[in-house]
Each structure stands twice: as C-alpha cells, then as structure tokens.
Structure 1
Amino acid sequence: METRAASVDDAEGMGQVLREIIEHTGRQRPHDVEFVMGRYITNPTSIRCTIAIDEAGNVVGFQSLKKAAAENPYDTPEGWGIIGTHISPKFQRQGVGKLLFLSTREAALQAGLEKIDAYIGADNPSGLKYYDAMGFQTYRTPEGIVQKVCSL
C-alpha cells in the first residue's frame, strides 16, 4: 500500500470508493467524477487530497484536507483544516487510514494549520473510532453530527 497526491486521473477510482461506501452503509452521497473533481481534486480551498493505492494501482481510499473559509458548510472556524476520509469497506482496518493521516498531518503542518476539524455523522461508529484513534477529540455535537478536532 502506498499514498500519493490525487490527480485528475484518480477521479474515477475515488468515485468507485464512494460507491462502495454507499453500498456498504446505505448512506447516499454524490459520487460521480464531476463531484469528485470539484469537491476533492480541484477545490480552491484544498491543501492536499491524498489517495491510497493497492499493489495493482487501484484507489482504495482517500483523505482530503481543505482550509476552512468563512461561512463554510461545516461551521468550522476559519483558518482551521477540514478533513474528510473515505476508505473502501474492503480495506478498512488494514492501516489505510493511518497511512493517509500521516500524509495529511504533514500537509497540515506545512500549511501552518494549528487545528483540523472532522465532521462525522453520529450514526457512523467506524468513523468516530477512526478519528479518536488519530487523536481527535469531540468539541461540538450539532444534531446528528459529531465534530472532532485535532490540535497540531
């Protein structure tokens, strides 16, 4: 397993990861190439989007890091990082998340971020456990959501 920065050529594979998550959880979310491009790869607030690839070169997970702008949809304080993690259910609990976070944490430090926000559905126990394991702590709980912060 290795990681690298996502490129335009990875959009389809990233969309496939999102489709696998939808199949596994039943939670609907956009997953087409256009969405992946705009949300993760070419987003102007993006600091880094890292993909994890298997030995065959297939995308098995990705993690985005953006800088929170004013009035962002997560109500994250301006200037903090916003993280999003998406791992194929076939590759969960195999160290993919830890590997992705190493790259993301490095990018956050290089960007001068002091804090990273994770916005997680309260009905997502694996996501909550993941961010706990990465050192995030709950700081806010809007209805149906748990927001966790990692101080760098």
Structure 2
Amino acid sequence: MSRVLRHIIEVTGTERPSDPAHVIANYIRNPSGIRCSVALDDAQKVLGFQSLISAFPGNPCGVPEDRGIIGTHISPAAHRRGIGSALFLASEQAASRAGLGNIDACIAAGNTTALRYYDAMGFRTYRQEGGVIQKVFVVRPAGAR
C-alpha cells in the first residue's frame, strides 16, 4: 500500500504521507475504520486500495459525523482496469451494512483523475472551498443494487 502511495506521489508530484506506519495507522488500524479493501494482481502485488471510515468529530473536511469518508488510491500503472469500480462496490456494501446514508469524498480541486472517478461512481459535488471539492454519494439500501 505504501508503494502505491509513493507511485502516486511520483506521478502527480503531490506530497502525502506514504510510509508503512502511516498506512497501518490510517488505513489498517484506524479506530474509525469501517472497511479497507485492497486490489491485488496475480502475483499478490497491491494495485490499489480504498478506505471507508466513519466521519469523526473535527475531521479535516468538516464531514458530518453521520457519514462515511472514502479515500481511493490506485497505482497510476493500474488505471482503467475496473479496479476502482470493484473497490467501490465493496465500500458501498460496507457503508450500507454500517447504516450510513451518505459517503463523502474530499478531493483536491486539481485532481482531475479523482474528480472523474468519483463522478463515475455517482458522487455529486456539494461544496467547493479552499481548493477542495467535496462530493457525496447517497448509499443505496442493500436490496436496491
């Protein structure tokens, strides 16, 4: 997972924490975590991952506490393979099981790849400020998929 984050940094030039300790604390053992799904290739190499956490008080994007917060990280070498769609299906199911009505994505305005991805998954923009675009997805009940 750290390698995926470092590859994203290499390609985009956007610095972000990527060390193993950060990955473990924020994606694997996050106390607000609902689900973290990982996509692997045939050799068991991580191609991407998606985390879904419960919004917590004082979260950086100001997401209401009754919502989930999603983060998607796919290696640039693995784009356009359906990985993001598969990861999102698992996250949406987890959100439904957790009783969430909405999932939020907080995206840098210049991250056109992420903005297109979340639009394709059905997220809609509800707030733009300070170079950040926030999108929301309304979680469908389990029987409505």
> TM-score scaled by structure 1?
0.90
Q: Which residue of 2 aligns with 1:130?
A: 117
Secondary structure of the residue aligned to 1:77 is coil
Secondary structure of the residue aligned to 1:132 is helix
Q: Which residue of 2 aligns with 1:51?
A: 38
Per-residue CA distance 1:6-61 (angstroms, 9 max, x = gap): xxxxxxxx000000000000000110000001111101000000000011111000
Q: Which residue of 2 aligns with 1:10?
A: none
- How far off is 1:93 after superposition? 1.1
- How far off is 1:73 after superposition? 1.3
Amino acid at match of 2:45: N
Is structure 2 residue 80 aligned with structure 1 residue 113? no
Q: Which residue of 2 aligns with 1:149?
A: 136
Q: Which residue of 1 aligns with 2:91?
A: 104
> TM-score scaled by structure 2?
0.95
Q: Which residue of 2 aligns with 1:63?
A: 50
Give me the whole-angstrom Cα distance separating, in 2, the residues matched to 1:72 and 1:17.
24
CA RMSD of aligned residues (A): 0.5
Is structure 2 residue 82 aligned with structure 1 residue 95? yes
**Residue-pair matches, total:** 139
Is structure 2 residue 72 aligned with structure 1 residue 85? yes
Give me the whole-angstrom Cα distance separating, in 1, the residues matched to 2:62 and 2:24.
23
Structure 2, unmatched stretches of 5+, are: 140-145
- How far off is 1:144 after superposition? 0.6
Structure 1, unmatched stretches of 5+, are: 1-13
Give me the whole-angstrom Cα distance separating, in 1, the residues matched to 2:41 and 2:120.
23
